Amino acid sequence: MNKYLIVGLGNMGIEYEDTRHNIGFLVADKLAENLKGTFKSSNFGQLCETSYKGRKTFILKPDTYMNLSGNAVKYWIKKENIQPENCLILCDDLSLPFGSIRIKSRGSNAGHNGLKSIENSLQTQQYPRLRFGIGSNFEKGQQIDYVLGKWNDDEKKILNERIILSAEAIKSFIFSGISNSMNEFNGK
């Protein structure tokens, strides 16, 4: 049976809730809700074991903090014997307009600390990711405050519909594969 690991990147703790950097957690929560799963405390984070159309699916929200996300990903890939191409990483992306999503089968970390950690732990850039655009509406030198900042009122108006779209894209990845999902969801 094919197994899938879906990893929402973010930081644990109340001070990080509803921040742009935690979009991976929000999308993971929506996916678990769609698949009627619940998160339980486990090794390296909160884990939801569920399935989608007969495919065993693990949804992980690492508790390692963003900079050490690779430890959690490596542990669960090895423990469950999941192929890296069946591991989808959900993360924020400053280079994409707010709310847009882009699915890629591989690529650079583009300066994202969570992706850097995963790349270092797995010793490869060959793993799929879903990047959720958070925009780049900040002044020079304010990137950290922006990324760790809360969603503004305009963003909040459409955030949920974009999270729902992201969860649909993940279900497509699990059932239809990366190429079909890229064709259907990139640019939406």
Q: What percentage of the chain reaches a pLDDT higher than 70?
A: 99
Mean of all residue pLDDT scores within the chain: 95
Q: What is the DSSP string of 61-118?
A: EESS-GGGHHHHHHHHHHHHT--GGGEEEEEEETTSPTT-EEEESS---TT-HHHHHH
Coil, strand or helix: which one is 42? strand
pLDDT at 1 over 70: no
* The pLDDT of residue 65: 86
Flag whether the pTM goes above 0.85: yes
pLDDT at 110 over 90: no
Categorize the per-residue pLDDT at 187 as very low, low, confident or very high, splitting at 50, 70 and 90: confident
* The pLDDT of residue 137: 86
pLDDT in tens, 54-89: 999 999 999 998 999 999 999 999 999 999 999 999
Categorize the per-residue pLDDT at 141 as very low, low, confident or very high, splitting at 50, 70 and 90: confident
Q: What is the extent of the structural domain holding 82? A: 3-185
List strands edge to edge, sheet with 45-52: 40-42, 45-52, 55-62, 3-8, 87-93, 129-133, 101-104
pLDDT at 188 over 90: no
Pull the structure tokens for residue 82: 């999941």
Number of domains in the chain: 1
Report which secondary-structure segment, H or E, holds 31. Answer: helix 23-34
CATH of residue 8's domain is: 3.40.50.1470
Which of the following is catalytic: 4, 8, 21, 135?
21
Q: Smallest Cα–Cα separation from 2: which of 56, 45, 48, 79?
A: 56
21 is catalytic: yes
